[in-house]
Structure 1
């Protein structure tokens, strides 16, 4: 895990759950009267402590990195399921003991048990709400991360397009310069041809003059 505090809270929670489970499944059935009521209250207090520890664990999971957060939340859900199972077992055993005719809870004890049951149900409802908020926050953070990655990719693509555009501009400039050079070369070729023609004509004139002077004068 990424959080030492989460691991410490998890150890405390496992100890509470194990003790509560042993009391409900093995010990409480052997108790009666005040001893049974006292054991039930102790278990309920432990379950309340367990819910408080779960809330702290959820707080640690929310700030953990994404690759650890999913695993943390999964373990929290498992612990929550164990706590709810213990709470149901406790309620069944205490209710069964009361209806069997043995020394059950009196009116005050039943009211106290009802209040504790409502408190546990409130804790469970709060935990479900916290789970929903945590999942929504996780989805939001993952969406933000995806958005950042997309923006980064778009930025890289924009830079690539800008570089491509710049290269196209450079290529256009090179083509313009090449056309100017070719036009200049073509003009020089034409000039050289004209000069060559003039030279040939002059030479022909000179030769013609020499021939005329030699043979006809």
Structure 2
């Protein structure tokens, strides 16, 4: 809700109300076709004022709660002024005007009232459509924000998986080196065992030779 927008609409409706009051003052001294033209002009102003009041109500609904009551009170004041002006302008022409003029005015007034009702209905339908579009845009923006957050989270998870994979590759390389070292140690152990067995056999042969030489020579 924009307070500047609300104030701008207030200025517009105040100007229209002032114009309607001026038309009302002049219409008192008019009759016949001049009065009809003044009434038509006033009715166009009334339609414009009602449209602006509808926009004011839409803006007030978006206002914070602590301001909404104040704004709605001001809107009621504008609507009362507009309704009063409309009632004043719908009064019959001054005394002395012909009956045919009054009949023609009533017929045109009924037509203008029907057109005004259609215009207000169209504006209300347009306002509801605009509100629906605004809600759709809000939902789309929220959905887009959720999508961005999900993409960011997936990116973080991807980086985590890449780091984990790199650590696994390093661990596999370390395990390969460890296997090589263990194999080398196993070969050395086997070599040492063979050397030890040869030494033992040599010692046994020497011991046997000495024994034979001592007892049988």
> What TM-score do the two structures reach when normalised by structure 2?
0.61
TM-superposed deviation, 1:208? 5.2
Corresponding residue of 1:67: none
- Structure 1 stretch 102-111 or stretch 185-194: which is displaced more? 102-111
Which residue is equivalent to 1:118? 114
Structure 1, unpaired ranges of 5+: 62-69
| Aligned residue number for residue 152 of structure 2 | 156
Distance 1:80 1:120 in 2: 20
Q: Does 1:139 align with 2:138?
A: no
Structure showing greater radius of gyration is 2
Structure 2 partner of 1:92: 87
Task: Please say if 1:180 is aligned against 2:179.
Answer: no
Q: Which runs of 5+ in 2 are unaligned?
A: none
- Separation in 2, partners of 1:120, 1:205: 125
* Paired residue secondary structure (1:106): helix
CA contact (8 A) 1:17 1:50 kept: yes
1:126 CA drift (Å): 1.9
- Is this contact kept in 1: 2:49–2:82, CA < 8 A? no
Query: Structure 1: how far apart are the matches of 2:48 and 2:87?
Result: 21
What is the RMSD computed on CA atoms of the aligned residues?
A: 4.6
The answer to which of 180-189 and 170-179 deviates more is 170-179
Using the alignment, how far apart are the partners of 2:117 and 2:80 within structure 1?
A: 12
Number of corresponding residues: 194
Distance apart, 1:136 and its partner CA = 1.4
> 8 Å contact 1:40–1:90 — kept in the other structure?
no
**Higher mean Cα deviation, 158-167 or 192-201?**
158-167
